[in-house]
Amino acid sequence: MSTPLIIKLGGRVLTDVDALQQLFTTVKRLAALRPLVLVHGGGDQVQALLQQLGHESVKIDGQRVTPAAHIPVVAGVLAGDVNSQLCALAQQHGLQPVGLTLQAGNTVRCEIDSSRGAVGIPQAGSGKLLQLLIEHDYLPILSSLGVSDQGERLNVNADLAAATVAQVLHGDLILLTDVVGILDHDGQLIETITAAQAPELIANGTIRDGMIVKLNAALQAAQVVLNKASRRTIAVAGWHDANALTRLARGEPAGTRVQL
């Protein structure tokens, strides 16, 4: 079996039906090239519903603070509304989706990040379930809802969740974003970022807010699945560029590639 490609979906594309249709046309093309696993968040939808219900929602360093009282809303949006919508679209495009949460098959284990409430710090678990599914041509679609060892449901940052799934499967990773990749101060694409360059880019404000989480997730995955001889892909790229995603699926340069 060829190396799986883990794709994280999030941002504006999840709130735009036309954009999702466009994206799943690309996903269908990529699925013909290699095994895929999709991981998604749904922060905008969670935020909107919390506001409708009169709850306040805040972020720290690009990651949402989630009081335990918010978890029923988070779970309903991520594992229910968004996941079922993505599975329906995948089926519409001729794929065989299987909707899952992170704890399915012990794929991802979570510690509790008590500084952010009911938030999980994802850790690699078992790849057996996902491997079984992709070997039989199913498309796993995982929402970023985790569970602690004590059985507490936890909100997990989707970028970090996708990086952990990439670790579990020793796969390639693409973190999709609303822009073409990580940009410099002039708005130009940074084609390659190394682990040594990352701290300075964060310190000088080139990379900030949610993009910090994406870069850290990419670096986390790189430290596990890359080595000097590796040809694995770890990248941040725009969801709207089908050609770029196809190039990345083939191991060719596109977006911002993260290297050790």
Q: Is 116 annotated as a binding residue?
A: no
Burial tier of 225 (Cβ tally within 10 Å: 0-12, 13-18, 19+): buried
Closest CA to 17 of 69, 85, 79: 85
Task: Please tell me whether residue 141 adopts helix, strand or coil conformation.
Answer: strand
* Known catalytic residue at 214: yes
* Residues whose CB is less than 8 angstroms from the CB of residue 132 and which lie 6 or more positions away in sequence, other chains included: none
* Known catalytic residue at 11: yes
Q: Is 99 annotated as a binding residue?
A: no
Choose the catalytic residue: 8, 99, 120, 127: 8
Q: How many Å apart are CA 223 and CA 102, to the nearest integer?
A: 21
Choose the catalytic residue: 41, 113, 214, 255: 214
Choose the catalytic residue: 11, 181, 210, 255: 11
Q: Is 155 annotated as a binding residue?
A: yes
Q: Is 205 annotated as a binding residue?
A: no
Element (H, E) at 210: helix 210-225
Q: What is the CA radius of gyration of the chain?
A: 17
End-to-end Cα distance, the chain:
26
Return the number of other C-beta atoms located less than 10 Å from residue 180's C-beta: 18
Q: What is the DSSP string of 64-100?
A: E-B-GGGHHHHHIIIIIIIHHHHHHHHHHTT--EEEE
Task: Please tell me whether residue 178 adopts helix, strand or coil conformation.
Answer: coil
* Known catalytic residue at 8: yes
Q: How many Å apart are CA 160 and CA 2, to the nearest integer?
A: 23
Choose the catalytic residue: 159, 172, 181, 238: 159
CB 237 within 8 Å of CB 245: yes
Looking at the annotation, which residues are catalytic? Answer: 8, 11, 43, 159, 214
As annotated, the binding site for substrate includes 42-43, 64, 155
As annotated, the binding site includes 42-43, 64, 155
